[in-house]
Each structure stands twice: as structure tokens, then as C-alpha cells.
Structure 1
Amino acid sequence: MDFSVDHLEAFVAAADCGSFSAAARRLNRAQSAVSNAVANLEVDTGVQLFDRQSKYPQLTSEGKILLRDARIILARCNDFVHRAYAFGEEVDARICIGIDEIIPQAFLTSILKQFNDHFPETELEILYGALKDIQTLVEQGRADIGLLVPLTLPEQCVCSRLLTYMSFCPVVGVNHPLAQLAEVTVADLSAYRQLVITSRGGERELEESIYSSRPWMIESTALIHQLVRQGLGYAFLPHFLVEEEIKTGDLVHLTQIFENQAMQIPVYSIWSANHSFGKAGQWFMTQFGEIECS
């Protein structure tokens, strides 16, 4: 088969307009060019697309089915053209971002909406992880850019930029025994379960911040949050995540023993020194600098 995009355009236009003459006017072509294009498409495919016995051509049953395929092909051709033009303007064809699962969802949603408006032709992949999982993704070339919330400084094998600090606070459910104490001591914390964030690589919170003698290691901050709400333990959670629940009394902030500690962790953007970014990647790097996690 050697039919062309022009043949498909003529076929779709004739079906939409109901006649070859109307299709010719839409496509700004001669009527004979449109009718010949459809006839050649029928010859090339070996399928009769229109029944021409009446005044106006009518789609055959086979034509109706192939019309849907023709529309899909033309849409993909249009995508191809727009994407090719975008690449000619030095826009990244594809970007993969590794994001620490603790990053605020509202911030990410806002950025992704804007990205869709600015770079609709760029393919995007988003990977989630915790702690050094994100740095591993960038080191291995699996992700182009990372949003990292590490417990230690990023390693020198990646480039990094300090974006902000994320505040954490120790919380328990309102019905947890620790919430009933007038004063909480380190011995009290040791007696109850602590829910600790961990990564697929085995990294977890620093030993000096694990007070419980029987902690649970969990890879998901969202799950830790839910377990705290259910009274299954206490945890250090981002302030932005629990602020409203502390105000409403659904969670209790264990302020007595930690009130003099800043409890802030840095947030970095990281990338490989060997990777060069087009306009889309550079846009992400700029927007990440606007993150707020307080």
C-alpha cells in the first residue's frame, strides 16, 4: 500500500462534509482531486469506502470502521508535526522527574498544570521514592531531575541546589496514650511505637531521631500519616501535612520535649552534570525554586 496522508484527509473530509464538492471546498482543492484521492485510497486498500449509487456518497459499513482509524492516524500525524516543530525550538522531547513522596501534592499539581500549558508536546514521566531513592534514580540516569528531601547532604556525584527547608513535628493521634500525658519524656517515647520513614535502598531516619524500642519502618509518608491518625504510633511528619489536624485537635503535637529543636530538613533539586536541558527542563528547574514546605 502506498496511500498518503492526503488520501486520508480527503476520505475524512468527504465523510464529514457529505459530498466530494463540499470536501474540496474545505480542503481548498479541486473536486476531481478529492474524488481521485478517495478512489485511489479504495484501490490501495482494496476496500470500497463509499456507496456512490445515490446523489451523495454514503459510507459503507467498512468505510465507517476505517473512518475511525483514519481520524486516529491524522491526529497522530498532527501530533508528530507539532512535536517536531517544538524540538526544532530546543524543547526537550522527554523529561523524567524523580520526586520524594513527601513533597506537597498541591505544589506538584500546580506546576504540572503550568507545564502542560507551556510544553504540551513534551513527554513526561514522574517517579516516586523516599530519601536517597531519588538520588539513585538520578545517578543511574533513570531520572533527569530529582526533588530530594535527604537526611544527609547530596553526594558529589550529582549537582544540587538548595531550594528550601521542610519543617517536621512529632505528632500522635488524639486518643494515643502519649497524648494524655501532661509531660512527655524520652522514656515515654521509648515505650511506644514510632513510625519511621524508610527507603527501598534501606535508608531510614537517623538513629538519634528514633526513640522507640520497637519502631515500624514504612516507605510511605501517607501511610504513616494514616496510622498515626488511627493511634498506632507517633511519628515526625511535615508541618504542612498535619497543621490543620493539630488546629482541629485530631492530632496532638508533642511539644513538651521537642519545643527547642528546629527540626528542619533541606529540600534540594538534583541533576546529573552530564545532562543538558532544553527549554522544558530549564523551566522545571526554575519552577522548583518556588517550592514552599513550611
Structure 2
Amino acid sequence: MTPSKPRGRNHNVSHIRTPGSNSSGSSSSSTTKSPTLRNSTNHPGRPVSLPSTQVKSKPGPSRPKVRSDRSLKSDERLARKLQAQDQKEYQKLIKGITTKKEGIVFRTAINADGTLEDGSPAHPDDLARFEPWKKLFETTSGTQVKRFHWIVNYELEKRFQETKTLLSDSPDAADDPTKELLLFHGTGTANIDSILNGGFRIGGVGSHRVVNGTVLGFGVYLAASAATSIGYAAGANRIFACKVFPGKITGDLTYAKTPPKTKDPLNEPYQTYSATFGPGIVYVVRYACLVLPCYVSW
């Protein structure tokens, strides 16, 4: 038996009609338009949705988020705080360096024959340093040197060099910016170690009392002649041999008898008073930082 054909519309055929075309298929326009798919079975004349053929783009790099004003201000405050902390630590470090106390870092003694205390030969540099003092002491005292004691105190050296530089760089602050004097100072044996460790103290300035008077004004009394200083050695067999930077020298005794205004040599027009006294010239240096002590013995 042959199955009968279904009546009605064909369920398997879809008609594609071009809008504007007639039943014969001829187009009224030369422009080809996109066809519309119509389902002839379920909903005649209603377009059928085609599956989407759009390709989704891959996600690109995300844009940076814009930070809020509050967050930026917080970062700025943190940066300022860290900067302040760094500055504080730096200042603390610098202060620690400049206030560090080293004291005596080196000492040596050279005999008149060019040997050290243990009998070994002295270094040529030490001999060269000792020779001017030997000659000066012996020609101004008539006494032979037995030993020259060279002591390097870090604090006193630094203070001396810094003050010398300040006066040398300041206009009219020194008669000769390169001038250094080799001068002597006599004192009792009990005072030697304290001077080597802490430098000279000027009586009548600050809390230091006057011990030997102020006949020639306020300052450290030094002499160009070893014989003059030996007279103040109080029976000791040693006197100080000092390197001195005098700054600007005055011969006005009235000025010398006025105590220094401050501890800063730049606050005064003169740093040293000089006059002939006894057998030679005496210098009264008004600032201890301008005197660097070592000593000789005979």
C-alpha cells in the first residue's frame, strides 16, 4: 500500500522571498537586499531569528583605576613623614660625628739623637717635625733638648684646623692667612696632662678662674723664647711647644684687658695681643682653639 501524501502546506520547505520581488522572481531594484527567512509552517510571514555569528572580542588590558583625592593626600602625608624621619636621622648622624670625642689618638717621643724611646730609629717625618723645635729651643734657651713629645689629640686638632680655616677665609680676620707661630708655654707638671687632653683654659673667661693674673690681658700666655717659658715651669724639666695661629694681632693693651665677648674668634677684630716682655716677645692668644700643644723636655 502506498502511503498517502499529507495534505496542506509542506512542513519541510521554507520560502525565501526578497522584498520588492514579484511572483516571477524578478527584482524591481538592482540593489540586492538581505533576505528574510520566514517559517511557512509555524508563523507564516514572521521572520525567524538566525544564530548570531558575531565574534566576541577578547578582553584587553584593564584601565588603571583613578585614585581618589583622599588616597593621594594620604600618600603625600606618608611621604612627608618619611622624609622628615630621614632628615632627623641624618641630623642625628651628623651631630654624632661632630660631637664625637676621640681625645688623644697618637703620641710618640723622639730623643735628641734621632731615636725613639726604645732605641729604634725615628721615622724621617717625625725627625723633620722635631728639628725646628730643637733648633728654636736650644737657640733661645741655651739648653740642649733631651726629648720632643708629639701628641695628637683628635678634638684639639680638629678645633684648631676649623678655626684657622674660618679666620683665613674671612676678610681682614688674619694678618697673614698662612702664618703659624712656634711658641712656648711654661706651667707646672700637674697641669700638663689636663692641657694635653682638654686644651688650654683661659682664666676669667666662662667658669675658669684667674690663676696667674691678667697683667697682659686675657688669653693663653706664650713666648717666642724658651728661656721666658722655662721661668714659669715651676721647677719642671718640660715646657709646652705650641703651634699657634694668631689671627689678627694688636698691640693695644687696653683692648687685651677686655675679656673676649664670646667663644667665637670671628666676633672680635683681634684674636691676639703681642708685646715685648722681659727677654723677648710675648703673645697673649685670646682663644684656646688657636693653640695646639705638644711639649719638649730637657
TM-score band, normalised by shorter chain: under 0.3
Normalising by structure 2, report the TM-score.
0.23
Normalising by structure 1, report the TM-score.
0.23
Greater RCO, CA 8 A, separation 6+ = 1
Specify which structure has the higher proportion of helix. Answer: 1
